[in-house]
Chain A
Amino acid sequence: MSACFHCHEPLPGEPVLARIGGEPCAFCCIGCRAAAEWIEQLGLGDYYRLRSAPARKAEQSTEASATWSRPELDRHVVRPLDGARSEVCLLIEGVRCAACVWLIERSLGALPGVAQVQVNAAAARCRVVWDPARTPLPALLDNLARTGYRALPLDARALDDARRRETRDALKRLAVAGFGSMQAMMYGVALYVGAFQDMDASTRELLRWIGFLLATPVVLYAARPFFAGALRNLRARRLGMDVPVALAVSLIYAASLAEALRGGAEVYFDSVSMFVFFLLLGRFLEMRARHRSGDLVDALARLTPMFADRCRADGTLERIGAAELRVGDVVHVAEGGGVPADGVLLDRACHVDEALLTGEAEPVARHPGDSLIAGSVLQDGPVRLRVERVAADTALAGIVALVHRAQAERPRLALAGERAAARFVARVLALTALTALGWSLLDPSRVLTATLAVLVVSCPCAFALAVPAAMTRALAVLAHRGVLVAHADAVEKLAEADHVVFDKTGTLTSPHVQQVGGDTAALALAAALARASSHPLARAIVDIAAGEDALPAATDVAAHPGMGVEGTVTGRRLRLGRADFALRGTLDAHALADAVVLADRHGVLATFHPRERLRDGAAACVHALQAQGLAVEVLSGDAAHRVGAIAQAIGAGQWHARQTPADKLARLRELRAEGARVIAVGDGINDAPVLAGADIAVAMGNGTPLAQASSDIVLTGGQLQALPEARRLAQQTLRILRQNHRWSLCYNLCVVPPAALGLVPPWLAAIGMSASSLLVVLNALRIGRAGPMPPAEAAALREVHA
């Protein structure tokens, strides 16, 4: 056995042992053992059999969940229901698979007074209805922490879960349209067949009115979103997708009703129901994809610290929620702690990690009187600061506002694309109007019959299917290849893009360390200690030691946040971390300013310099994109020599260093002003505004939630090679979409003139409609079939792999 029973991480040389369910099990750390024992004691040991993904490494909780019992904070997050019950919405980290959902529901449900637990795995949210008098909120959080999940109570407003309402609403409408159209189709077939077999008039009348009865809820209830959307579009004075759809639905429905009333030739209640059903199905799938891609509010909640230590007048500290801070308060920030609000540094110089805003990985020095930014992490301390800006005024909130604004700007740009889609239906409607006009001049008694025939024969089914069928197929194929598309129109824009802007840190590169001094034995010692830390550089040290034999075990490990790790390995007391920490100030540490140092009592054993490694497949991705004819550019907040080296390594044509998020956004605007259509690829919080402002935004799956929430496409596997592949697929999708449209146009050209002349019998119209719909669906299924790769691109990929 070489992996931890709980989290499947590699075991240290001397693992922690315990008996779980009568079996001896090995664990990587005490936290994982405690979680497994707790789960076993709850009688939920089945979790380990049911899960399909390993658990998150359990941490010994350091956060004081007791702070949540403060009434001021409680009011923010808990909403009282009727009687003694209250409800709270928790954001849960570490939900990996369905078994996690099961475990959370069971373990919380076992607590006294808990009435209801609902976990939404996709959104990582959990709603609990319980009696706070019997189990206080901190007990709920403690229970989750013991089980190995980190829970964060969200603002009580999150309980009005807009997504849940949206999903339920969409499901109901879809069901009504589905049931209705199936039934209407049955009676429709009877009518078509009846036309051959001389159905008597009274039966025909009966079947028609049944069709009307079935189509009515579909049109009046299920199709309401289209009418509402059309109304919104008209109020905003623009012609969106919804206007022609709503017009076609209401026209077919009203005209069929008029025909039924006067006993005319044809009614099309079945067609209108099918039309609505297919359109709703397309929207439903799109909504599901959108919900999977993350939420801005949750992303922000994860970034800002929840608590602050406020200094009272007498110098003592009180722990309060960050939301309670007021301007002028003095707060204490411990070493390794997050800054809770924007403020001015009061007593001593310190270093802070502001990667959040600048993307700069190295800590920056701040002196008394300088301002600190909410969300940055203190490297050495403790310090005190006076709060200057809170909540919505902080720089972090500013970034989020920037994201919102960039997102809001986009619809205006996307308008052109939407118009193209609306044009098809508009054309059909114009044709219908023309037919109506022609017949009203020739023979007013046949106006209704002929216009209705044109409307039905020409547009709905093939049109309604052409886009959703191709899009659904494309989204499914892309998801299968690790590309999650949040907005369906992203496919079209991806195919049309001609420019790619990459962020460097975390996107093109991944963190890496280079060992300078010391031998492999020292590396093994460093890795043994580094395993106790979750810092990216510590992970990188463990990574380079992965090839070594069994690592020694570290005991008495103490982590000093922002500084490093201390522990005993093979009988020696060692320190790993920043030079001044590791050397205990005995040597001049300035020469090793940004290095990670392993030292014992006598001096330096090994030094590790932070480096960046080109991410696997980055060069292949860039070459393939260039072979597709895209211009590639690198924008980074990092220093010029590092950006230049990376740009050269991947062969990017242009690069810009030392870019703030605002600079990046400006560069993006400049590109767009020149007529370029830009794909932005990024992963960090500082990339979020750029992502939101690009024509199409791509986030890395292991990037920050904020970046994911503001992007159109998420590369779930973190595989850059998936991007050129996705673009090829998007182009294929567009090609097939155009084929489908061209086919419907051809079909219309052949069928509409006879229909306008009143020559098409209903059974022929039905067969034509079904055949054209079938053809459209079959054509859409060709998306994702391995097509020949363009030779230039294949050569680029081969060259890189060789």
Chain B
Amino acid sequence: MTTMLILIPLTFLLLLVAGAAFFWAVNHEQFDDLDSAGLLPLTDHAPERPEPPEEPPP
């Protein structure tokens, strides 16, 4: 019985954390673009900000 009294509040806590994390993710655009993120690991080198070439081609 005591284990239950400890474990049940624990599940609630975990539930709250999971829910809050999901809400945070939705609000921070993690679910807006589900297409391009899947390609990131496939690129050889993924520089965060590639520098634009100095001289644009004609």
Contacts and interface: CB of A to CB of B under 8 A. Distances in A.
B52 A42 contact: yes
Interface string B25-58: 0110101110110111011110101111100110
A168 B57 contact: no
B39 A102 contact: yes
B33 A46 contact: no
A592 interface: no
Contacts of B22: 172, 175
Nearest to A33: B57
A121 B35 contact: yes
A164 B32 CA distance: 8
A165 to B, nearest CB: 11
Contact of A43 (B15, B42, B47): B47
Given A118-B33, A121-B35, A171-B31, A49 B49 contact: no
Contact of B51 (A110, A120, A183): A110
B13 interface: no
Contact of B44 (A42, A46, A119, A168): A46
A120 B31 contact: no
Contacts of A650: none
A175 B26 CA distance: 10
B50 A44 contact: yes
A98 B36 contact: yes
A109 B49 contact: yes
A584 B18 CA distance: 74
Given A42-B53, A110-B51, A168-B26, A210 B36 contact: no
A408 B23 CA distance: 35
A13 B53 CA distance: 32
Residue of B18, B47, B57 with most partner-chain A CB within 10 A: B57
Nearest to A217: B19
A146 B44 contact: no
A101 B36 contact: yes
A550 interface: no
Contacts of B45: 43
Residue of B19, B35, B49 with most partner-chain A CB within 10 A: B35
Contacts of B31: 167-168, 171
A183 B26 CA distance: 22
Interface in A149-203: 164, 167-168, 171-172, 175-176, 179, 183, 203
Given A41-B57, A109-B49, A118-B32, A172 B26 contact: yes
Contacts of B6: none
Nearest to B49: A110
A535 interface: no
A179 B19 CA distance: 8
A159 B41 CA distance: 30
A203 to B, nearest CB: 8
B39 A99 contact: yes
Contacts of B35: 98, 101, 119, 121
B2 interface: no
A34 B57 CA distance: 7
Please classify how large the interface on chain A is, using the bins under 10, 10 to 19, 20 to 34, 35 or more.
35 or more
Nearest to B1: A203
B50 A102 contact: no
A210 B52 contact: no
Nearest to A168: B26
A37 B55 CA distance: 12
A37 B29 contact: no
A38 interface: yes
Interface in A13-44: 34, 37-38, 41-44
A37 B36 CA distance: 22
Contacts of B51: 43, 110
B3 interface: no
Nearest to A213: B12
A175 B18 CA distance: 10
Contact of A172 (B1, B11, B23, B53): B23
Interface in A30-64: 34, 37-38, 41-44, 46, 49-50
Contacts of B50: 42-44, 106, 110
A43 B40 CA distance: 14
A15 to B, nearest CB: 18
A36 to B, nearest CB: 10
B42 A49 contact: yes
Contact of B33 (A42, A120, A172, A175): A120
A118 B15 contact: no
A681 to B, nearest CB: 30
Residue of A99, A102, A167 with most partner-chain B CB within 10 A: A102
Contacts of B43: 46, 50
Given A41-B53, A41-B57, A210-B8, A176 B32 contact: no
A213 B15 CA distance: 12
A423 to B, nearest CB: 36
A98 B47 CA distance: 18
A38 B57 contact: yes
A702 B44 CA distance: 35
A111 interface: yes
A171 B19 contact: no
Nearest to B32: A118
Nearest to A170: B26
A50 B36 CA distance: 10
Contacts of B26: 168, 171-172, 175
Nearest to B5: A206
A50 B27 contact: no
A98 B39 contact: yes
Contacts of A203: 1, 4
Given A42-B52, A43-B47, A179-B18, A50 B32 contact: no
A105 interface: yes
Given A46-B44, A111-B52, A175 B36 contact: no
Contact of B36 (A41, A102, A168): A102
Nearest to B48: A109
Contact of A37 (B23, B27, B33, B57): B57
Nearest to B57: A37
The 5 lowest CB-CB distance pairs between A and B, nearest first, are A98-B35, A101-B36, A41-B53, A102-B36, A43-B50
Given A46-B43, A175-B23, 13 more contacts: A37-B57, A38-B57, A42-B50, A46-B42, A50-B43, A98-B38, A102-B40, A110-B51, A119-B35, A119-B36, A175-B22, A179-B15, A210-B8
Interface of B: 1, 4, 8, 11-12, 15, 18-19, 22-23, 26-27, 29, 31-33, 35-36, 38-40, 42-45, 47, 49-53, 56-57
Interface of A: 34, 37-38, 41-44, 46, 49-50, 98-99, 101-102, 105-106, 109-111, 118-121, 146, 164, 167-168, 171-172, 175-176, 179, 183, 203, 210, 213
30 contacts: A37-B57, A38-B56, A41-B53, A42-B50, A42-B52, A42-B53, A43-B45, A44-B50, A46-B44, A49-B42, A50-B43, A98-B35, A98-B36, A98-B38, A98-B39, A101-B33, A101-B35, A102-B39, A110-B49, A118-B29, A119-B35, A120-B32, A167-B32, A168-B32, A172-B22, A172-B23, A175-B22, A175-B26, A179-B15, A210-B8
